[in-house]
Structure formats: C-alpha cells, structure tokens
Amino acid sequence: MKPTISIPQHWGYPRFALDQRTEKGTILGLYYYPSGTELANKFDEGWRYVLMSNKNSDEISYLQENQIQPLSPQELFTQITAEIDFYQQQINILNRQLTVLTKGVNNG
C-alpha cells in the first residue's frame, strides 16, 4: 500500500515532491504556512521545504518554493549515473571479498 498525503483543498499544491533532487539538495520534508496564521503573516504563506544539501552531511536548510530550482534533466542524469557507478564499485569490492571468503572456507 502506498502512503498517502492529503492536502486541504484551500491550500495550493506543492511545486516540489519529497525526495526530489534540486540544485540545493534533496527534499526531505515540507510544511505549509496557511494564510491568516501568525507564521504566514510573519514569513509569508505557502510551502516551505526541508533540504539536505549532501547525504553525507547533517546540514539542513529550510527554503521557500521561490528559493529552489529543480535539476535539469542532464544534471539529474549525471547525478544518478555517478551514484550508480559508485554503488557498482561497492558491489564489485564486496563480490571480491566474498570470493576470497568462499575460497578460504572451501580450502579450510
């Protein structure tokens, strides 16, 4: 069963999605300041996004929609390809370790 998020009809729909990669990082969360609330009066109503700039860092930023730019298809392709290459190297290393281990077990 897929998780479902319900957004009240009187709120605008968010422009970005959870786990979406952007120029400033990956979107981890989002929240909304509804009109007529103290937070909306102070900071403007609308969606706010929680982004992690780097998966190896605990640095988090909180940005409005107008502060975020999605990655171009080419940038997204380059990021994903690099990540696949990294994990493929990790798999190769683990396979070599497994081969050494199984040779040692079979010879022992």
| Under 8 Å between Cβ of 32 and 48 | yes
Residue-wise pLDDT for 23-72, tens only, equals 999 999 999 999 999 999 998 999 999 999 988 888 999 999 999 999 99
Global confidence as pTM? 0.78
17 CA to centre of own chain: 9
Three-class DSSP category at 103:
helix
Check if the beta carbon of residue 50 is closer than 8 Å to that of residue 28: yes
Contacts of residues 33-40 at CB distance under 8 Å and 24 or more positions apart, as own/partner, are: 34/10
Residue 10 in this model has a pLDDT that exceeds 90: no
Q: Is the predicted pLDDT of residue 98 greater than 70, yes or no?
A: yes
Residue 2: its pLDDT value, please? 79
Question: Model confidence at 97, in pLDDT bands (50, 70, 90)?
Answer: very high
- Residue spans per domain, the chain: 1-69, 72-108
Question: CA 57, CA 26: separation in Å to the nearest integer?
Answer: 12
